[in-house]
Amino acid sequence: MRVGVGYDVHRLVEGRKLFLGGIEVPFSKGLLGHSDGDVLIHAICDAILGAISEGDIGVHFPDSDRTIEGIRSTTILSRVMDLTKEKGYTIVNIDAVVAAQEPKILPLREAMKQVLAETMGVSTDRIGIKGKTTEGLGFVGNKEGIEVYAVALLKENDESI
Q: What is the pLDDT of residues 85-125, one digit of tens each?
A: 999 999 999 999 999 999 999 999 999 999 999 999 999 99
Least confident range from 24-38, 59-73, 114-128: namely: 59-73
This prediction has a pTM of: 0.95
116 within 8 A of 127, measured Cβ to Cβ = yes
2-156: what fold? 60s Ribosomal Protein L30; Chain: A; (3.30.1330)
Name the amino acid, one letter, at 35: S
Which residues, including other chains, have CB under 8 Å from residue 9's CB and lie 6 or more apart? 39, 145, 146, 147, 148
Band of the pLDDT at 33, cuts 50, 70, 90? very high
Residue pair 157/90 in contact (Cβ under 8 Å)? The answer is: yes
Nearest-CA neighbor of 153 among 96, 92, 77, 95? Answer: 92
Q: How confident is the model at residue 161 (pLDDT cuts 50, 70, 90)?
A: low
